[in-house]
Structure formats: C-alpha cells, structure tokens
C-alpha cells in the first residue's frame, strides 16, 4: 500500500548537493561537474533512486509514452507487429502502452481517450478506425497519430499502407504461369481496406487477362473462415484450380480443408497463395507462397516519424515482398 519511492530530494541530501544538481545529472546535455555527477550517481545508486517519469513528463510536456491500439492481439501477424514496434520504441527511448480493443470502432475511441489521459506522445492504431472528432482532438492536443493498414483519408496522421493491388497482380501472374484458369479469392467479411484492396486488385488484374474470379467471403479473418471458404469454393461446379487467400490464416484453414475433406493435392490440383507471411506459413505442413508484411520496416518507419519533425511524407506505401514456397506450381 505505502508507496515510498526515493526522490531527488533525498539523493541531494545524501550527496550534499542541491536537488537541481541531481536533476541535471539525469538530464541529457545539462552541465554538471564531474565531481558533482559522481557524488550524485553514487548517492542515487545506493538509495535506489530512479527519475520519476510521471513528474518529468508533466514538466517537459513529453511523457515518452506511445499508445498501441490493437485488437486480436493473440493473432500471429498482429503480435509480430507489436513485437517489432515495441522493440523500435524501446530503441528510441520510448515506451509502449498496449490497449486491447474489440472489433467495434467505439472501443478505439475509448482507447484514444486513455492515450490522452496518459498524455501519450503518440498513438499507433493497428485495428479499427477512430471517430474523426476524437482523432482531431488528439491531433489538436499535439499527439501524433499513426494508422497502419487502415486507409483513412483524413489529414494529419501518418498512414502506412502496403501495395496490396500490386501484390494481387503478382500472384495472378504466378497463377496464370502455373496454368491456372479457374481463379478464386477467399476473403473474410471484415471488409478492412487492405483486405478489400487485395480482393479488388486481384479481380482487376484477372480482368485484364480476360479471366474471371469467384469471390467468397465469410466470417472473421482467421483459420476457421478458411475452412468454411474451402467448403464453399471447392464444391462449386467449376472447381477453382487457384485461390488467393486474403490472409495466411485463411490460407492455412483453406489448405487443411482442401486436403483433408476434398483430398486435393497442393499445388498439383490447386495453387494457393496467402498474405502476411506469418510464421506458420513457413511450417512444413503449409509451405505457403505468400507476401511478407515488412513488419520491421513498418515499425521503423512509424517510430522514425515520431522522433523526427513532420517533414516526412505523411502517406507511406511499403512493398510486400513475395515469398516463394511450394503452394504454387513452377517458380
């Protein structure tokens, strides 16, 4: 109950200096004599002193806190991105607050309010989309905003996206080269911009080659959806010989169902591609050809933008590299 952290005052007394000397010792680029510094550090060490970042944040008007707003934290792609971002943040001396949201946009607004309460320097949104009013409040308060893979049109936040359409075009080419003509796209019903961009990009690319695409959408973006989508697409009169899955999780579910329930051999009878390059995509059971989310680059870009001035382009499009494995013939 009784929280008794040691304060700069106590350190000052012990070291026989003023409390500002203590403060200066722990402030970057402040001028303290070597002797004073030594005395202070010694006293601090022996007392177990640590600068109170709550108070420092109050004074400096800069908390060092960055809010990560995420739903479905347990998912492979999300957690990989969280890992990369927290790492980058720590490298640049910041610290991450993690807020778990559910799928509703209202919970993103709630999360942003928390970010404001803790005077976070910035918020990084991986899921959902904030209400414009609350987003504006953040911006107006001087909090920076980063939106990852959520194609919002409002000005102010840094928006990081991938070249989903370009990726879709590449996978189409690969399918065609493998001799596939009966194309399908397996999507969830989430309808997020990146998912939809992959879908429409794939359809557009197919159109250019006079090919049609059967699109199916089901449920939440995950393994289970992949299984159901396989049931639907693989029982069609014209059974697809190639399917582009909106995410790797969907692809894994799809492949499992295709093999176990339809005894389909991959890639001989069916070519499959995914998106994200989660760890499981490289597992021998799947060995899935997919596009790698450049998580480290995303993290670096976001964190760098936070540290720098806002001169950086506020809309960044990153490249998703094709990772070629054995779920598509040829290669």
Residues lying near its own copies in the complex (CB under 8 A): 1-6, 48, 50-55, 57-58, 61-63, 65, 68, 72-76, 78-80, 82-83, 86-87, 90, 95-100, 113-114, 116-119, 137, 140-143, 223, 227, 252-253, 256-257, 260, 279-280, 283-286, 309
Q: Does 20 bind DNA (CB under 7 A)?
A: yes
DSSP helix/strand/coil, 330: coil
Q: Minimum distance between the CB of residue 37 and DNA, rounded to whole angstroms?
A: 7
x/- contact string, 48-67, with DNA (CB under 7 A)?
-xxxx--xx-xxxx------
Asked if 123 and 147 touch (Cβ cutoff 8 Å), the reply is no
For 20, the token pair is 């500002």
DSSP helix/strand/coil, 248: helix
Q: Minimum distance between the CB of residue 42 and DNA, rounded to whole angstroms?
A: 14
Contacts of 193 (CB under 8 A, 6+ apart): 149, 150, 151, 161
Q: Does 8 bind DNA (CB under 7 A)?
A: yes
35 binds, among its own copies, DNA, none (CB under 5 to 8 A by kind): DNA
For tokens 């000397």, name the residue: 21
For 197, the token pair is 């961009």
Could you tell me which of 130, 171, 166, 169 has the C-alpha nearest to residue 148?
130
Q: Does 238 bind DNA (CB under 7 A)?
A: no
18 binds, among DNA, its own copies, none (CB under 5 to 8 A by kind): DNA
List C-alpha distances in Å: 32 to 20, 23, 152, 248.
10, 10, 48, 55
137 binds, among its own copies, DNA, none (CB under 5 to 8 A by kind): its own copies
Nearer to DNA, 51 or 203 (CB): 51
């Amino acid at each position: 109950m009784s929280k008794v952290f040691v304060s700069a005052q106590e350190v000052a007394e012990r070291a026989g200096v003023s409390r500002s000397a203590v403060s200066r010792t722990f402030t970057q680029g402040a001028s303290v004599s070597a002797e004073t510094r030594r005395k202070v550090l010694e006293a601090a060490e022996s007392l177990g002193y640590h600068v109170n970042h709550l108070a420092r944040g109050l004074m400096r008007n800069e908390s060092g806190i960055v809010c990560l707003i995420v739903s479905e934290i347990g998912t492979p792609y999300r957690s990989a991105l969280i890992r990369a971002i927290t790492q980058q943040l720590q490298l640049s001396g910041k610290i991450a607050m993690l807020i778990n949201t559910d799928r509703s946009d209202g919970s993103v607004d709630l999360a942003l309010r928390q970010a404001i309460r803790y005077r976070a320097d910035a918020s990084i949104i991986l899921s959902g989309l904030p209400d414009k009013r609350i987003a504006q409040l953040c911006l107006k308060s001087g909090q920076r905003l980063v939106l990852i893979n959520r194609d919002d049109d409002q000005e102010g936040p840094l928006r990081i996206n991938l070249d989903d359409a370009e990726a879709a075009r590449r996978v189409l080419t690969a399918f065609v080269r493998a001799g596939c003509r009966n194309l399908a796209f397996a999507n969830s019903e989430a309808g997020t911009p990146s998912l939809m961009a992959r879908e429409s990009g794939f359809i557009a690319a197919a159109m250019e080659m006079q090919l049609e695409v059967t699109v199916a959408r089901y449920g939440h973006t995950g393994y289970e959806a992949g299984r159901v989508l396989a049931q639907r697409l693989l029982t069609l009169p014209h059974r697809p010989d190639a399917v582009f899955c909106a995410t790797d999780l969907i692809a894994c579910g799809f492949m499992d169902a295709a093999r176990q329930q339809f005894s389909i051999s991959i890639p001989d009878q069916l070519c499959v591609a995914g998106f994200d390059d989660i760890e499981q995509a490289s597992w021998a059971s799947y060995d899935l050809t997919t596009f790698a989310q450049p998580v480290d680059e995303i993290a670096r870009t976001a964190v760098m933008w936070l540290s720098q001035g806002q001169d950086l382009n506020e809309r960044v499009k990153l490249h998703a590299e094709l990772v070629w494995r054995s779920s598509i013939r040829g290669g």
